[in-house]
Amino acid sequence: MYEYLETAEQPENLKRVAVDPVSRVEGHGKVSLLLDENNNIKQVRLHIVEFRGFEKFIQGRPYWELPVLVQRLCGICPVSHHLAAAKAIDQLVGIDPATLPVSADKLRRLLHFGQVLQSHALHFFHLASPDLLYGFESDIGKRNILAVLGDYPDIGLQGVKLRKYGQEVIRMVSGKRIHGSGAVAGGMNKALSRAERDYLLEDIAQIINWAEAAVALVKKVHTSNPSYYDNFATIRSNYLGLIKPSGALELYHGGIRVKNERGETLIDQFDYCHYTDIIHEEVRSWSYMKFPFLTSLGTDMGWYRVGPLARINNCDFIDTPLAESARMDFKQHADEAIVHSTLAFHWARMIELLHCAESIRLLLNDPDIMGAELLAKGERRFEGIGVIEAPRGALFHHYQVDENDIVTKANLIVSTTSNNMGMNESVRQVAAEYLSGRELTEPLLNNLEVAIRAYDPCLSCATHAVGKMPLQVELLDAAGRQIDHLTRHSNGKFERANQ
Amino acid sequence: MRKPLLVIACGNPSRGDDALGPLLLDFIERQADLSAVELLSDFQLQIEHALDLQNRELVLFADATVSANAAFRLEEIRAEQDRSYTSHAMSPAAVLQVYHNTIGPMPPPCFLLSIQGTNFELGEQLSANAQHNLQLACRFTRLLLAEPTAECWRRQIGRG
């Protein structure tokens, strides 16, 4: 659709603008633009510093260390890596999802719902709500959570407390907010006590109410200017994710379903242990991050999107009543089988937040959740594959081990990699439709960031040492000479160096 | 009943010198009387940490830094709307600002102990310099914990 903007024909004659790093996403991303003398955009690329060294980090370790070790790959979704790794090493001890003890399965699901809830709450209230409440091109001083907390204190505080509740679910199930060791090969290593269960039940009704209010808020924002929200950064794509056998929304375990842009099901209930039969990854010279695609459709037509929008588009229904009602409302908004609006990621994300809150209540009231039979063991294997629907989309962990239990090969496909092409297409759409031909300003450039932010990309940056992350924007002329340079230091001060 | 002193360490133990904060926490766990001290470790600070500050008398943030001029640095921090709110990782001052905006105008006295590090790559060990800095910071922290009041800690500002 907008791939013509991936590579300019004569880049040497164009001036370059970089937005580096993209703010309010996890990790380090950069958008580079090439413009002609009339500010017509000729090339747009989203560059992401990939999860370098992940596989190397894992190889050579004993497999039982992995659920704890992989949490350190990412400071934002450690539980998703923890559970994907646990599902993979279950297979190494001969356990498949169907043979995992019932209580262990339900505890893992509870842990996962807590993780998705806190992650979605953080993204919506902290990172996205400033754009949604104040406008994409509003004063930069307004576009932040602190302004939201000042102007909309109830909404801001709900975001903080939703996030905190999700963290508490994680803490109760795994023992710690981070570095927990809840899931182990073949099950879980800690039961949920009655006191812990009762503690989490105390607030769940309030959490569900706030989650409903969040869905209402995002719907109100989206429908207040439907043509804008439906078209901004919108691209048509395939969608991939896990699904229950019944066709219901699934976050922890299921088969792979793929729908095309018309809503036709291309793949259904596909066993993810054979994912290499349907997914390949393409390398492009200008990007650290690979471009996954469906082999049956090829590189040009086979790219797909994952995450909340994909999951809500792909499922036939949601098996919790409030979220199902919200899903039906969401689907009615579109005039076709699939909702392609990139900004609808936010709406879909809040429907999932509500589903997580409802599911947590169901699980806490299920007697199995306090069961003591938590471990199982089967026949030893040497290869394990775990796939989970992380907050940002399908996450693949694939390990091979030797006779000494040492990991000899590891392959990870993280959600943000699956959305690589989608994010690039969205920023190109925004550049082509909203920016081209205009003098670039910070509010205009924020439109590019808004498009990226809708995907909630996790670019892996658990390192955060004070002073490590300045922001720089540079403007170069056609000869490559720097004509403007703006730096945001870690203390928040801006420095402009006109040359 | 919440313990009056909270120590929050930030960092990823598998990213080289980013482990400095969690390692300092390990030291406190081994060496200190924890009857009045709560320890909390996280990869990075976020909005919900404002709630952890409630009903405390004193808070110490411990973190690795690349910009200290000494092995470590102690400073008192106040609520500030810096730019870290635009990321998944917030500064201690921004967390205090969240506290100010959501809970009340008077957060407890909060101090930041920054420990100098240089290498933050995934899978790396603690660098030799960071090990040295950690030893000094641990010794200094023992002093702080011996007299856990804001007044005493203010007298220690500038040491490092």
pLDDT of B115-141, one tens digit each? Answer: 999 988 778 899 999 999 999 999 999
Q: At what angle do helices B92-102 and A153-174 cross, to 10 degrees?
A: 120
CA-based torsion, A362, A415, A340, A229: positive or negative: positive
User: Would you call the peptide bond into A21 cis, given omega within 30 degrees of 0 as the criterion?
Assistant: yes
Locate the domains of chain A by residue range. Answer: 3-49+419-496, 235-340
Beta strands A304-305 and A238-243 are parallel
Judged by phi (left if over 0) then psi (alpha if -120 to 50, else beta), residue A149 lies in: alpha
In chain B, what percentage of residues exceed pLDDT 70?
95
A-to-B residue pairs, Cβ atoms closer than 8 angstroms: 136
Q: How far is A35 from chain B (nearest CA, A)?
A: 27
pLDDT of residue A172: 95
Residues of chain B with Cβ-Cβ distance to A121 below 8 Å are none
pLDDT of residue A460: 46
C-alpha separations of A357 from A117, A161, A319, A326 in Å: 7, 13, 12, 13
SS3 A121: helix
Q: Which of A21-35, B56-70, B102-116 has the lowest mean pLDDT?
A: A21-35
Of residues A411 and A476, more confidently modeled: A411
Interface contact B102-A462, CB threshold 8 A: no
pLDDT of residue A126: 82
SS3 A22: coil
Q: At what angle do helices A344-364 and A194-224 cross, to 10 degrees?
A: 160
**Strand ranges across the sheet with B72-77:** B37-42, B5-10, B58-65, B110-116, B72-77
d(CA A236, CA B117): 46
Output the DSSP codes for B114-131.
EEE-----TTPPPPHHHH
CA-based torsion, A443, A448, A449, A454: positive or negative: positive
pLDDT of residue A72: 83
> Which of B47, B64, B122 is the closest to A57 by Cβ?
B122
Nearest Cα residue in chain B from A151: B101
The residue ranges of DSSP E strands in A375-433, in sequence order, are 383-390, 393-401, 407-413
> Is residue A484 over pLDDT 60?
no
What would the mean pLDDT of A11-30 be, rounded to a whole number? 61
pLDDT of residue A128: 86
Residues of chain A with Cβ-Cβ distance to B24 below 8 Å are none
Q: How far is A288 from chain B (nearest CA, A)?
A: 17
pLDDT of residue A495: 57
pLDDT of residue A489: 47
What would the mean pLDDT of A142-148 be, rounded to a whole number? 75
C-alpha separations of A406 from A72, A187, A383, A401, A493 in Å: 19, 20, 11, 5, 48
Q: A145 with A130: CB under 8 angstroms?
A: yes
State how far Cα A142 lies from the chain centre.
Answer: 25
> Is residue A25 over pLDDT 50?
no
Looking up tokens 């001083």 gives A141
Where does the pLDDT of residue A177 fall: very low under 50, low under 70, confident under 90, or very high at 90 and above?
A: low
pLDDT of residue A471: 41
Q: Which ranges in B11-80 belong to alpha helices (H)?
A: 20-31, 49-52
Interface contact A466-B64, CB threshold 8 A: yes
Residues 6+ apart with CB under 8 A from B108: B53, B56, B57, B58, B59
Q: Is A54 an 8 Å CB contact of chain B?
A: yes
> Which of A56, A461, A468 is the closest to B66 by Cβ?
A468
Q: How far is B140 from chain A (nearest CA, A)?
A: 20
Residues of chain A with Cβ-Cβ distance to B43 below 8 Å are 75-76, 78, 178, 462, 464
Looking up tokens 């991303």 gives A29
ipTM of the prediction: 0.80
Segment 407-466 of chain A within 8 Å of chain B by CB = 461-466
Token pair recorded at residue A442: 């910070």
Interface contact B66-A23, CB threshold 8 A: no
Residues of chain B with Cβ-Cβ distance to A471 below 8 Å are 83
Interface contact B47-A72, CB threshold 8 A: no
Beta strands B37-42 and B5-10 are parallel
pLDDT of residue A499: 39
Mutate which: A464, A469, A490, vs B, most B CBs within 10 A: A464
C-alpha separations of A261 from A21, A172, A238, A338, B79 in Å: 31, 41, 5, 7, 48
Burial A54-78 (b: 16+ CB within 10 A, else e): beebbeebebeebbbbbbbbbbbbb
Residues of chain B with Cβ-Cβ distance to A24 below 8 Å are 86-87
pLDDT of residue A82: 95
Output the DSSP codes for A339-367.
---TTHHHHHHHHHHHHHHHHHHHHHTSG
Nearest Cα residue in chain B from A130: B86
Domains annotated on chain B, with CATH? 5-156 (3.40.50.1450)
What would the mean pLDDT of A121-148 be, rounded to a whole number? 80
Q: Is A175 an 8 Å CB contact of chain B?
A: no
Number of Cβ atoms within 10 Å of the Cβ of B106? 9
Interface contact A164-B51, CB threshold 8 A: yes
Of residues A485 and A458, more confidently modeled: A458
> Is residue A470 over pLDDT 50?
no
State how far Cα B70 lies from the chain centre.
Answer: 16
Q: At what angle do helices A194-224 and A102-121 cross, to 10 degrees?
A: 40
pLDDT of residue A373: 96
Q: Is B102 an 8 Å CB contact of chain A?
A: yes
d(CA A23, CA A247): 36
Rg value, chain B, Cα: 15
pLDDT of residue B121: 79
Q: Is B17 an 8 Å CB contact of chain A?
A: yes
Where does the pLDDT of residue A360 fall: very low under 50, low under 70, confident under 90, or very high at 90 and above?
A: very high
Interface contact B63-A466, CB threshold 8 A: yes
SS3 B45: strand
What percentage of chain B's residues is helix, strand, coil (to nearest 5)?
40, 20, 40
Q: Is B130 an 8 Å CB contact of chain A?
A: no
Pick from A143, A294, A141, A155: nearest CA to A216: A155
Interface contact B88-A157, CB threshold 8 A: no
C-alpha separations of A230 from A131, A161, A368, A387, A428 in Å: 16, 30, 43, 31, 16
pLDDT of A227-273, one tens digit each? Answer: 889 999 999 999 999 999 999 999 999 999 999 999 999 999 999 99
Most confident of A455-464, A482-491, B90-99: B90-99
Q: Is A367 an 8 Å CB contact of chain B?
A: no
Q: At what angle do helices A442-453 and A420-430 cross, to 10 degrees?
A: 150
CA dihedral B79, B82, B86, B91 (to 10 degrees): -60
Q: A492 with A470: CB under 8 angstroms?
A: no
Q: Is A179 an 8 Å CB contact of chain B?
A: yes
Nearest Cα residue in chain A from B67: A467
> Is residue A475 over pLDDT 70?
no
In chain B, what percentage of residues exceed pLDDT 90?
66
